[in-house]
Amino acid sequence: MVADSSVKDLASIYRSQFSVFDHVTYVNSCSQGALADSVRKSFDTYISTLELQGSAWGDWAGYQEKMRGLFAEFFKVPTSEIAVTTSASAGVNAVASALDFTKARNRVVTTENEFPTIGQTWHAQELRGAVVHHVPSSNGVSVDVAAVIAAIDEQTLIVSITHGCYHNGAVTELAPIIEAAHKHGALVLVDAYQTAGAVPLDFSSLKADFVVGGTLKYLLGVPGVGFLYARSETTSHLIPTSTGWFAARDIFAMDIHSYDPAKEARRFESGTPAVPSLYPSATGLQMLIDIGIENVYRYVGGIHEAIREGVESLGATVITPRNREHHGAMLAVASLDENAHVAALEKENIVTSSRGGNIRVSPHFYNNYDDVEKIVAAFAKTSHFLRK
């Protein structure tokens, strides 16, 4: 298996910065991105602020704003439309708290492909009057775009939809759903956790009202940092009731007698950020910006298809759609015993993960074609687990 010579070989340039490959073949970026040397060193930068200054509020607040600026640059939107959260869950809950479910427009349309946070958050709003409708997936794999559009009506307040499915890697065509929702006066929230950093995303062109995600997967960061994009044109009237002092217009006013939230997306933030996580997450995202998401997308596409070709040659069933526009970096291979299969692959020094009866193989730009051969060989040795 060889690379396309017309595509920049990113692994040959950057792989040496990821020491995990000295020990294992790592293809579990859908759970946690591999740790770069520079990202690891950024923890030391944070620790030095504690050792040298004690309470280094100026530095810490500066990294919060640095993170906001990097998100804005990466997703091609103004910084005023980015909230830096502690997780995607925090962002979704802040949005939910800003919605009024007591009126006739109280319906939430979502799908069967969502991460648990999404379903659980919207069902929690049933206590506040929400009516939640789940649209079945097409063949149990892809979001049924036509069915989602058909489910949107004049009572729909928000459509909440995943861009990349966390258990099978299927990517949803968002544009027609967003257009249909807006025609009915409904908002759209997109969960982009499994595609941010793997698929080029321009939020200004996407025109979703909200997009959530985080840094610990393909954005090369760590847990504790997420983002919420809030399109100012359509969401500026929404004021969250889930809040904290970092969401205030003036965080140092220390006013306990009123609620004066920021006008920009920062109003969806909460309390003190996860400061230790800001340093490595900023470093990781800057690395990805420097490499270029288009370069990553083209390179990983070849790795992804080589893995598919190899495992399918063993008779494996690949659940993830084949069409390039309908998958990200994750490949889902059907398994008869997903947990035992992951453990068996680990014994072959292949690190994967599983969800929904599938083995998730998720390469990034640091993987190479030698990895592909090792992965296929490991699946051959564990072929008795394959669900064909």
In a domain, 3, yes or no: no
Tracing tokens 């759609």 back to the chain, one arrives at 321
Residue 252 has pLDDT above 90, yes or no: no
Residue 1 has pLDDT above 60, yes or no: no
Specify burial of residue 6 (Cβ count, 10 A radius: 0-12, 13-18, 19+).
exposed
Of 6 and 200, more confident: 200
pLDDT (0 to 100) of residue 242: 95
Q: Is 196 helix (H, G, I), strand (E, B) or coil?
A: strand
Last residue of a domain, one of 249, 270, 288: 288
pLDDT confidence bin for 58, thresholds 50/70/90: confident
Mean pLDDT of all residues in the chain?
Answer: 96
CATH number at residue 346: 3.90.1150.10
For 142-167, the pLDDT digits (tens) are: 999 999 999 999 999 999 999 999 99
Contact between 278 and 225 (Cβ < 8 Å): yes
Q: Are residues 124 and 228 in the same domain?
A: yes
DSSP 91-144: HHHHHHHT---SSS--EEEEETT--HHHHHHHHHGGGGT-EEEEEPEETTTEE-
In a domain, 4, yes or no: no
Closest CA relative to residue 142, chosen from 117, 108, 107, 177: 177
CA distances from 129 to 100, 102, 375 (A): 8, 6, 49
Q: Are residues 220 and 249 in the same domain?
A: yes
Q: Is 354 helix (H, G, I), strand (E, B) or coil?
A: strand
For 89-115, the pLDDT digits (tens) are: 999 999 999 999 999 999 999 999 999
Q: Are residues 257 and 297 in the same domain?
A: no
Rounded distance between C-alpha atoms, residue 292 and residue 21, angstroms = 22
Q: Are residues 232 and 113 in the same domain?
A: yes
Element (H, E) at 188: strand 187-191
Q: Which two tokens stand for residue 328?
A: 């990200």
Q: How many CB atoms lie within 10 A of CB 70?
A: 24
Q: Alpha helix locations (H) across the chain?
A: 10-14, 37-53, 57-75, 88-97, 116-124, 145-151, 175-183, 203-206, 232-235, 275-291, 293-312, 338-347, 369-381
For 177-219, the pLDDT digits (tens) are: 999 999 999 999 999 999 999 999 999 999 999 999 999 999 9
The mean pLDDT of 220-235, rounded to a whole number, is 98
pLDDT confidence bin for 6, thresholds 50/70/90: confident
Q: Which two tokens stand for residue 19?
A: 């020491």
Q: Look at the alpha carbons of 75, 70, 34, 162 in this order and tell me if their dihedral is positive or negative.
A: negative
Q: Are residues 24 and 49 in the same domain?
A: no
Last residue of a domain, one of 270, 288, 306: 288
Q: Are residues 305 and 368 in the same domain?
A: yes
Last residue of a domain, one of 250, 270, 288: 288
pTM (two decimals): 0.96
Specify burial of residue 205 (Cβ count, 10 A radius: 0-12, 13-18, 19+).
exposed
Rounded distance between C-alpha atoms, residue 210 and residue 160, angstroms = 9
pLDDT (0 to 100) of residue 44: 95
In a domain, 365, yes or no: yes
Partners of 234 in the β-ladder:
none
Q: Are residues 233 and 314 in the same domain?
A: no
Contacts made by residues 71-74, CB under 8 angstroms, sequence distance 24+: 71/227, 71/229, 71/285, 73/289, 74/285, 74/288, 74/289, 74/293
Partners of 199 in the β-ladder:
196
In a domain, 2, yes or no: no
pLDDT (0 to 100) of residue 5: 67
Query: For the chain, what is the domain count?
Result: 2
CATH number at residue 112: 3.40.640.10
Find the domain containing 354 and state its range: 10-37+293-385
Q: Are residues 199 and 315 in the same domain?
A: no
Q: How many CB atoms lie within 10 A of CB 160?
A: 24
Q: Are residues 238 and 310 in the same domain?
A: no
Q: Are residues 68 and 20 in the same domain?
A: no
For 293-322, the pLDDT digits (tens) are: 999 999 999 999 999 999 999 999 999 999
Q: How many CB atoms lie within 10 A of CB 158?
A: 25
DSSP 243-271: --GGGBSSTTS--SS---B-SSGGGG--S
Q: Are residues 224 and 308 in the same domain?
A: no
Q: Are residues 142 and 159 in the same domain?
A: yes
In a domain, 163, yes or no: yes
Q: How many Cα atoms sit within 13 Å of 114 on the Cβ side?
A: 26
In a domain, 314, yes or no: yes
Residue 61 has pLDDT above 90, yes or no: no
Rounded distance between C-alpha atoms, residue 166 and residue 223, angstroms = 17
Contact between 145 and 176 (Cβ < 8 Å): yes
Specify burial of residue 59 (Cβ count, 10 A radius: 0-12, 13-18, 19+).
middle
Q: Which two tokens stand for residue 266?
A: 């920062």
